[in-house]
A and B are shown apart, each in its own frame.
Chain A
Amino acid sequence: GAVVSQHPSWVICKSGTSVKIECRSLDFQATTMFWYRQFPKQSLMLMATSNEGSKATYEQGVEKDKFLINHASLTLSTLTVTSAHPEDSSFYICSARGPTYNEQFFGPGTRLTVL
């Protein structure tokens, strides 16, 4: 089956620093990737949708300058949290969908803690 990986699985950083999270589709080409944020015991909230080679589409209320998304290839998307603050601490999950799939395949998630 289709596999999506995320790296790192967890990261702790100081306030004001930037953190990059990678999302890779390991055995299929992902024309579309999605980034979600999940707070404890809550549902997944879609942050942005990215299509390979084009700019990401951000959901309302998500700061595009703070959450930089790059979908440079058909197997890799990155989310960079710039100038992170403690309120950015969360579980970030990516998912990917290939051109022939009806479903999305989810990565294992990245736990970000900003001190």
Chain B
Amino acid sequence: AQSVAQPEDQVNVAEGNPLTVKCTYSVSGNPYLFWYVQYPNRGLQFLLKYITGDNLVKGSYGFEAEFNKSQTSFHLKKPSALVSDSALYFCAVRASTSGSARQLTFGSGTQLTVLP
């Protein structure tokens, strides 16, 4: 079974400071990894994904994430946080194989608050 852990329910950072939202995963075989952001009463917006290739993935709104296979992690980062980045962030994983394992499994979410 595949799983995702987001160990922090809440992350607070000051505007202009770097931010990190942590994610670790467990999956059979090679993982496909995703980060999504959700604003209140809205659906999920895609930020970035790792499929293969470079371990550092750059995505929307200045976000990036680093795939670390040995640590089974895919932490989300941004060099300089904005107040508008305040939202709920979800990490998701699925196996690269076919079949039912292709469905996404989501982490529990991390509420990011950027303080002015």
Residues of A within 8 A of B (CB): 6, 34, 41-44, 46, 49, 57, 91, 93, 95, 102-109, 111
What B residues does A105 contact at CB under 8 A?
46
A103 to B33, CA, bound (A): 9
Q: Does B49 contact A (CB under 8 A)?
A: yes
- The size bracket of the interface on B is 20 to 34
What A residues does B32 contact at CB under 8 A?
102-103
Residues of B within 8 A of A (CB): 32, 34, 36, 41-46, 49, 51, 88, 90, 100, 103-104, 106-109, 111
A102/B108 in contact, CB under 8 A: no
Closest A residue to B41 using CB positions: A111
Main secondary structure of the interface of A (DSSP, over half): strand
B49/A106 in contact, CB under 8 A: no
**6 tightest A-B CB contacts, nearest first:** A108-B43, A106-B44, A109-B43, A106-B43, A43-B108, A43-B106
